[in-house]
Structure 1
Amino acid sequence: MQRHRRQPSIELLEFLGLVKENGAEQTPPPVTTPLSYDYILVAKYVNDYERQHSRKQAEYIDQLKKKNFRVTKIIYDDIVFYGLQAPKEVFERYRYLLKVSDTCNWSTHQNIMSLSTRIRVVHFILNNTEISSGEVLRDLMKAKIFETKFCLHEKKTQKDLKKKWARWTACFQGQPVTDVRNYFGEKVALYFLWLGWYTYLLILPAVIGVLVFLYGLSYFNTSPLIKEVCESDRIMCPLCDQSCKVWQLNETCTYAKLSLLFDNNGTMIFAMFMAIWTTLFLEFWKRHRSAYVFEWKVADWSEEEEELILEIVNDADCSPKPFKHSYLRSTVVLICVTLMILVIIGLTHALVVFRVMVARFLADHEEWEFLNSNSNIGAMMAGAIIHFIIITVMTRVNRIVAMKLCAIEKTRSFAATERSFTVKMFTFQFFTYFSSLFYVAFILGRINGHPGDYVRIAGKWRLEECHPSGCLTDLFIQMTIIMTLKQTLNNVFEYTGPWFNNYVKKKRSKKLQRKCAVCYQRNESETNAGFEMCENCKLRDWQKNYELTDVNSFSLFNEFLEMAIQFSFTTIFVAAFPLAPLLALINNVFEVRLDAIKMVTLERRMVPKKTNDIGVWIHILEVIGVIAVIANGLVIGVSSDFIPRLVYLYRYGPCVGNTTENMDCMVGYINNTLSITDTKMFAPKQLVTSGGLNITSCSYKDYRDSDYNFTPQFWLILAIRFAFVILFEHVVIICKFIASWFIPPVPMIVKNDKLIDKLNRLKLELRSFEEGQH
């Protein structure tokens, strides 16, 4: 059933300037606004040889003046500043249209337009004002006709936010989210609200992750598995060709202990908890968000209606931009996205080849005793570092490709472009970060063959194997290096970049500061020199904001992307890295203040944007939650030794049938996982032990008989692995659905307050109608 829309009256059309009465333009009633500049445009000073730039620059300013903008021009050195202040009637129109819209949320008593709202309205008008050539401000900036644009920081509010929020000593204090919303707009406020909520809810996973880690640590001296490895005299087969020699299993004692820290019985419980925690986090976030958006009166805000209001305010004769969809463009974009993903996966394969070559190189240099004996570990760490370099380079490439694909789509509005860009960029970044980790978790060591028939790259380099202590050790080291480097280096560059930029530019403004000090000591009305000094004071403020680090529409996107990638690390492979929530918690405690300090003191003011949710990011986080369930189920069922240990315990171990007493039921497990082969396929120099003994047989980790056929135990373990993965995922997904159903997305108090608010508004409308009848 369609809702009845009231038709605009002639009086309303006259009021908005959409029609004229008696040939005269109607003047709307004044609205009280603070005297300030809504926006600053900056251009390089042009001489007579650059008349085209000068003409377009002047034409654009003239177009603003035709819209009754107040323009103040100040020239300093080779820079021209244009201070812009929109006329009062612009904001009165916006206020009225917002009040009569379907998503009415404007208080009837509010007559003062906040500066953040003024900035948002003016920002839209500036971006949609055309000159005769059809170019808008974005085109003019690309052509260097204007250098940049920015809105000014409010000194008093900026000082207050710095005092109670944007400082390092406030790391463990709450956030003044409503103050942030009033200054930076709802979009920035919801980011900090989400980040604070995410950080708060990480406390429990961090504690449980540490307990799982300590649980594994407590078994160092009592676990029969570690004892069996550390006291074993088994001779293992060479791990590479030619250079590698046979080695003793007890050489991996340290790595066996490391593996047990995260590959233990507590891992499965922790992985299930984190899968359910992801759902609880998202559901509780929806409740947390709803309370704030209702308080801010944006619960019913509509992006399309806001855009239409701004279009009318900018141009009374505008036409709506139609929604369009092209199957051809969508197909081209889909093909390009697929090709880009294949390129990223190809880089992962190149990384595999690199690791194999490094392992061979280290193994061939016998003079490097430590690296020679640990060639696989050295190759794995070198691969992790190269992977991080690839991530850094591909981040820039991914951004360029995502923007090009958005240009192909020709989206209807900037908000649609932003959503499309977000999905593409996150997809590319996800594959860039996790392709190598998925290889290590699920492929490494499972396709390398067996003695006498090893799989080789180009028939030359033998594929690397998992570390003898288990494949999860490799995954743990990879994640530790990548996550630690990513978070540490990102925070260092994120803070020091703007700080260093401001430090270098400070010297330029010292002259203005000295001149401005005189301004407050002299009466402005006494001489013309006094007036010039006050212009210098105004210029000093503009110059100070100009020298801050530039921000753009995607600055907040970078912060969300960083946190989404971290959220992926924290949830997807948490079974292999139980300390990930702790590292994320520590990082986020400082991330909140780092972002606050950067936005308040080191960067230009972001354009305040209205919204009532974190947008497409909520869907991305939900997808990550689903991937986390699948990945953790596979890590426990396929990558870890959890299932083989259970099979041994209940099918092949010494406690089967209760035939033994006073014996640990896992005794003999390590030997059970090893197969024996003769050594005829290895070079003679590879068969000499460190003690100088020649051996005729060696062991390798697999379930094979003497003819290299899989044993029945292998097939039993494989069947139980897949059964466990299916059972794990179904149980966790059912728990997620139950949690999602059990937790209402909106608190009852918010629903009731919203109901009362709507009722009061309807009563007010009815009272106004009845008064009009009389």
Structure 2
Amino acid sequence: VIVLQLSSRTKMNTINWLISRIQEEKLLGGAELLCKLAYVSHKDGVILLIGGTLERLLHGAEEKELVKQYKDGTLKPFLYHDRNNFHDFKNKKQLFLTSGECLQLIKHDLDNLRARQEKHVPEVPYAKLYPGKNILNTLATSGLLVQMYPLHNFEELETLKEVWYGKVQVFSQPINAVRNYFGESIALYFSFLGFFTLSLFYRSIFSLILYFLTDKTFNGNMLMAIINIVWSTIFLECWKRKSNKMAFQWGMLHRVEEFEEPRKGFEGPLGINPVTGKKEPIRLPGEWRSLNFIHSFLFVSFSLLVSVLMMLAYLWAKTLAEKYCAIHRNTQSYVIAVLPNVGYAIGVIILNRTYLKLARVFTEWENHRLASTHEYHLVAKLLLFYFFNNFGLLFYAAFYMQDFTEVSEDVATQLITYQILDQIMKSIVPYWINKRKLKKLKQSSETRGGPVLQHVLIEGGLDAYKGLIDDYLEMFLMFGYMMFFSSIFPLASVCCFLNSITEIQLSALKLCDNFQRPFPVPASNIGIWQLAFKCFVILAIIVNCAFLGMSAEFQAVFGDYTGIHLIILVFTFEHLIMGFVTLIEHLIPDVPKNIEIQLKKFEYESRQALKCEKLQQTYIKDNQKLFSSAQRRERQI
């Protein structure tokens, strides 16, 4: 189910050594997987097919403590010796593990394939090894491992495509089927996107009513600002509850968090982990890393400077366009009037995509030891830049120029331009390019081997899936436009709703047809993005309270107050809103009561099982001591 594509310059001794290490028993340091040399070519390189027997995968499920449904309906960690008592194991033995779980288990064994006493990869003296070093990572950095990717299961994929985007369905997605095929991380993203879209539907109806019933300049700001705060808080709290419920059903919520192993791309000397006692790459205590972070800080600062320069160029172009339109009153003047706005929106999109690629390179260069730390630093860089690049000009117009008509026009232009261009660049153009690429790949692979090999070569020619960061960033921006500026431009929520509908369909199409199948990633929530959205809500409370203080309604009610008293009043109102948000968070529990009871029951049973295991070990030790003493007395007699 997994393909390893090696470089055409890989020697046969190296190939045989790698195959033997993959097939070797785990007790001897191997992966204990099936491995077959499928194809050798000067053009395509060397193709190895990796799989696993059902017995090996079941043992791997026990090692990884995969949680499965027991015969009594409860969820329990899988135990190989008790396998027949798990739900549907006897009847559907081959379907007991989902295809996503099989991929996850096999990849875990491959990622933990480490060197023993080898000094270097056979026939490759520059690919240095030491005991415990990751073999596949060494092959990748030395240029021998070209790519590693899982194969699509076409029968399962076609079934998923038919129920997912084969027919138009706005608020219903086969999330469990997506999880079984692509893993929990991708399933949680689409569930979050679907929940966001459904919430926007009700929000958009109210926004349309408010838009047509009130004056289009700035009236209705007070009501919309309050709705922004209440809606965002309830939305995030209800999502946490929904995600915990799904994670529990998938057996992810009460899985014991295993000790995080070093990231595959981490480069460091072999050492002893002080917590687990295992041999693994470590970071030396006195290692100097500040230089890397200084470079990253300079990179972020330079990127922000470029964004500021683009903002200044837009203001200059806007001034020239206004002067031209004041003199010339014709059709051409209307086109020139909107050109700076459209040009700025396009520039923002280009900077966003360029920065994303560069941020990945700089974060990889920082050489973080853990995957969670790596993701945290990458997302932190992205959020800082994306926030400033996308919203900086709008905040400047709102708070410094206090031109809300200008803000409304800019938000509308940026949202519409961003949605159209982003969907074209992210989905439509790649889909069209992929169709042409697939046609060429099928034509070129028809003369090379049977259908299995053709399948392997076609999928190997597709682009690798880059992950969910780009998709989360788009949702993050839509959330920001709506939360910060829908009180000024009420139709922002309608634009975000329409974008989310198309995003579900196009993202599903892109995932199934445009890229190689991604490796499933286990997850119990959306991770750092939950915190990012939470921070956005807090910031949105401050911004909306500031807009509230500047609104016509607020000024009409509290017009007699002086400047400082007005600021104190807004500040007090903001604190009251913060207290209200905290109250809502406490009123809506993160975990439903029935699931909380089952979690406590699961924890109790785990403790009882551990206690029985310890008693059993003590009993065995006592019996061994009695047996040894009896043997000594017998020898004495």
Q: TM-score, normalised by structure 1?
A: 0.65
Question: Which residue of structure 2 lines up, in the alignment, with residue 73 of structure 1?
Answer: 38
Question: Which residue of structure 1 lines up, in the alignment, with residue 158 of structure 2?
Answer: 159
Question: Which residue of structure 1 lines up, in the alignment, with residue 297 of structure 2?
Answer: 337
Seen in structure 2, the aligned counterparts of structure 1 residues 128 and 105 have a Cα distance that, compared at 3 Å, is closer
Q: CA deviation at 1:754?
A: 2.4
Seen in structure 2, the aligned counterparts of structure 1 residues 577 and 304 have a Cα distance that, compared at 3 Å, is farther
Seen in structure 2, the aligned counterparts of structure 1 residues 749 and 591 have a Cα distance that, compared at 3 Å, is same
Structure label with greater radius of gyration: 1
Show the 5 A alignment for 1:468-483: 471-483=403-415
Seen in structure 2, the aligned counterparts of structure 1 residues 59 and 187 have a Cα distance that, compared at 3 Å, is same
CA distance in 1 between counterparts of 2:399 and 2:427 reads: 37
1:148 aligned counterpart, secondary structure: strand
Question: Which residue of structure 1 lines up, in the alignment, with residue 4 of structure 2?
Answer: 41
Q: Is the 8 A contact 2:65 2:255 kept in 1?
A: no
Counterpart residue type for residue 95 of structure 1: A
The one-character-per-residue Cα deviations of 1:572-616 (angstroms, maximum 9, x if unpaired) are 222112111121112212211221222123321110011111110
1:550 aligned counterpart, secondary structure: coil
Question: Which residue of structure 2 lines up, in the alignment, with residue 223 of structure 1?
Answer: none
2:145 aligned counterpart, secondary structure: coil
CA distance in 1 between counterparts of 2:198 and 2:605 reads: 36
CA distance in 1 between counterparts of 2:547 and 2:534 reads: 20
1:42 aligned counterpart, secondary structure: strand
Seen in structure 2, the aligned counterparts of structure 1 residues 184 and 326 have a Cα distance that, compared at 3 Å, is farther
Seen in structure 2, the aligned counterparts of structure 1 residues 143 and 432 have a Cα distance that, compared at 3 Å, is farther
Counterpart check, 1:430 vs 2:387: yes
Counterpart check, 1:487 vs 2:485: no
Q: CA deviation at 1:399?
A: 2.6
Q: 2:475 aligns with which of 556, 560, 563?
A: 563
RMSD: 3.8
Seen in structure 2, the aligned counterparts of structure 1 residues 205 and 118 have a Cα distance that, compared at 3 Å, is same
CA distance in 1 between counterparts of 2:228 and 2:66 reads: 46
CA distance in 2 between counterparts of 1:431 and 1:437 reads: 10
Q: Is the 8 A contact 1:572 1:624 kept in 2?
A: no
Question: Which residue of structure 2 lines up, in the alignment, with residue 363 of structure 1?
Answer: 323
Seen in structure 2, the aligned counterparts of structure 1 residues 357 and 419 have a Cα distance that, compared at 3 Å, is closer
Q: CA deviation at 1:351?
A: 2.2
Q: CA deviation at 1:745?
A: 0.9
Q: 1:117 aligns with which of 101, 108, 121?
A: 101
Counterpart check, 1:536 vs 2:450: yes
Q: CA deviation at 1:300?
A: 2.7
2:148 aligned counterpart, secondary structure: strand
Question: Which residue of structure 1 lines up, in the alignment, with residue 207 of structure 2?
Answer: 209
The one-character-per-residue Cα deviations of 1:77-116 (angstroms, maximum 9, x if unpaired) are 7213221224667645533333499x97336535754432
Question: Which residue of structure 2 lines up, in the alignment, with residue 525 of structure 1?
Answer: none
The one-character-per-residue Cα deviations of 1:467-492 (angstroms, maximum 9, x if unpaired) are xxxx1111111111111111222222
Q: Is the 8 A contact 1:192 1:592 kept in 2?
A: yes
1:731 aligned counterpart, secondary structure: helix
CA distance in 1 between counterparts of 2:356 and 2:221 reads: 36
The one-character-per-residue Cα deviations of 1:196-227 (angstroms, maximum 9, x if unpaired) are 111112222212211221121xxxxxxxxxxx
Question: Which residue of structure 1 lines up, in the alignment, with residue 175 of structure 2?
Answer: 177
Q: CA deviation at 1:493?
A: 2.3
Question: Which residue of structure 2 lines up, in the alignment, with residue 261 of structure 1?
Answer: 216
Question: Which residue of structure 1 lines up, in the alignment, with residue 372 of structure 2?
Answer: 415
CA distance in 1 between counterparts of 2:97 and 2:15 reads: 29
Counterpart check, 1:290 vs 2:244: yes
Q: 1:200 aligns with which of 194, 198, 201?
A: 198
Counterpart residue type for residue 388 of structure 2: F
Q: Is the 8 A contact 2:62 2:77 kept in 1?
A: no
Show the 5 A alignment for 1:647-662: none
Q: Is the 8 A contact 2:263 2:370 kept in 1?
A: no
Q: List runs of 5+ in structure 2 lacking aligned partners.
A: 25-29, 68-74, 90-95, 122-126, 130-134, 267-275, 621-637
Q: CA deviation at 1:383?
A: 3.7
Q: CA deviation at 1:346?
A: 5.9
CA distance in 1 between counterparts of 2:442 and 2:360 reads: 39
CA distance in 1 between counterparts of 2:237 and 2:285 reads: 33
Seen in structure 2, the aligned counterparts of structure 1 residues 388 and 407 have a Cα distance that, compared at 3 Å, is same
Question: Which residue of structure 2 lines up, in the alignment, with residue 692 of structure 1?
Answer: none
Q: Is the 8 A contact 1:502 1:547 kept in 2?
A: no
Identity %: 19
CA distance in 1 between counterparts of 2:366 and 2:591 reads: 35
CA distance in 1 between counterparts of 2:263 and 2:341 reads: 51
CA distance in 1 between counterparts of 2:53 and 2:328 reads: 76
Counterpart residue type for residue 434 of structure 2: N
Show the 5 A alignment for 1:130-141: 132=121, 133-134=127-128, 136-138=135-137, 140-141=139-140
Seen in structure 2, the aligned counterparts of structure 1 residues 55 and 768 have a Cα distance that, compared at 3 Å, is closer
Seen in structure 2, the aligned counterparts of structure 1 residues 326 and 368 have a Cα distance that, compared at 3 Å, is farther
Question: Which residue of structure 2 lines up, in the alignment, with residue 402 of structure 1?
Answer: 359
Seen in structure 2, the aligned counterparts of structure 1 residues 729 and 396 have a Cα distance that, compared at 3 Å, is same
Q: Is the 8 A contact 2:186 2:468 kept in 1?
A: yes
Q: Is the 8 A contact 2:245 2:592 kept in 1?
A: yes
Q: 1:497 aligns with which of 429, 442, 450?
A: 429
Seen in structure 2, the aligned counterparts of structure 1 residues 330 and 385 have a Cα distance that, compared at 3 Å, is farther
Seen in structure 2, the aligned counterparts of structure 1 residues 328 and 143 have a Cα distance that, compared at 3 Å, is closer
CA distance in 1 between counterparts of 2:221 and 2:324 reads: 38
Q: Is the 8 A contact 1:472 1:576 kept in 2?
A: yes
Q: 1:613 aligns with which of 520, 525, 533?
A: 525
Question: Which residue of structure 1 lines up, in the alignment, with residue 148 of structure 2?
Answer: 149
Q: CA deviation at 1:752?
A: 1.9
Seen in structure 2, the aligned counterparts of structure 1 residues 340 and 98 have a Cα distance that, compared at 3 Å, is closer
Question: Which residue of structure 1 lines up, in the alignment, with residue 625 of structure 2?
Answer: none
Q: Is the 8 A contact 2:348 2:390 kept in 1?
A: yes
CA distance in 1 between counterparts of 2:406 and 2:502 reads: 29
1:611 aligned counterpart, secondary structure: coil
Seen in structure 2, the aligned counterparts of structure 1 residues 428 and 277 have a Cα distance that, compared at 3 Å, is same
Counterpart check, 1:742 vs 2:617: no
Q: Is the 8 A contact 2:445 2:457 kept in 1?
A: no
CA distance in 2 between counterparts of 1:100 and 1:585 reads: 37
The one-character-per-residue Cα deviations of 1:695-747 (angstroms, maximum 9, x if unpaired) are xxxxxxxxxxxxxxxxxxxxx55335423431331222111011011111111
Seen in structure 2, the aligned counterparts of structure 1 residues 98 and 358 have a Cα distance that, compared at 3 Å, is closer
How many residue pairs are counted as aligned between the two chains?
568
2:464 aligned counterpart, secondary structure: coil
The one-character-per-residue Cα deviations of 1:52-72 (angstroms, maximum 9, x if unpaired) are 788766665554355354123
Q: CA deviation at 1:418?
A: 1.9
2:237 aligned counterpart, secondary structure: helix
Counterpart residue type for residue 72 of structure 1: L
Q: Is the 8 A contact 1:171 1:589 kept in 2?
A: no
Question: Which residue of structure 1 lines up, in the alignment, with residue 346 of structure 2?
Answer: 389
Question: Which residue of structure 2 lines up, in the alignment, with residue 632 of structure 1?
Answer: 544
Deviating more after overlay: 117-126 vs 420-429:
117-126
CA distance in 2 between counterparts of 1:325 and 1:735 reads: 46
CA distance in 2 between counterparts of 1:565 and 1:287 reads: 23
CA distance in 2 between counterparts of 1:506 and 1:589 reads: 27
Counterpart residue type for residue 191 of structure 1: Y
Question: Which residue of structure 1 lines up, in the alignment, with residue 63 of structure 2?
Answer: 97
Counterpart check, 1:589 vs 2:468: no
Q: TM-score, normalised by structure 2?
A: 0.78
Question: Which residue of structure 2 lines up, in the alignment, with residue 659 of structure 1?
Answer: none
Q: Is the 8 A contact 1:212 1:262 kept in 2?
A: no
Seen in structure 2, the aligned counterparts of structure 1 residues 514 and 337 have a Cα distance that, compared at 3 Å, is closer
CA distance in 1 between counterparts of 2:317 and 2:444 reads: 60
Question: Which residue of structure 1 lines up, in the alignment, with residue 273 of structure 2?
Answer: none
Seen in structure 2, the aligned counterparts of structure 1 residues 351 and 309 have a Cα distance that, compared at 3 Å, is closer
1:749 aligned counterpart, secondary structure: helix
Seen in structure 2, the aligned counterparts of structure 1 residues 262 and 321 have a Cα distance that, compared at 3 Å, is farther
CA distance in 2 between counterparts of 1:93 and 1:309 reads: 24
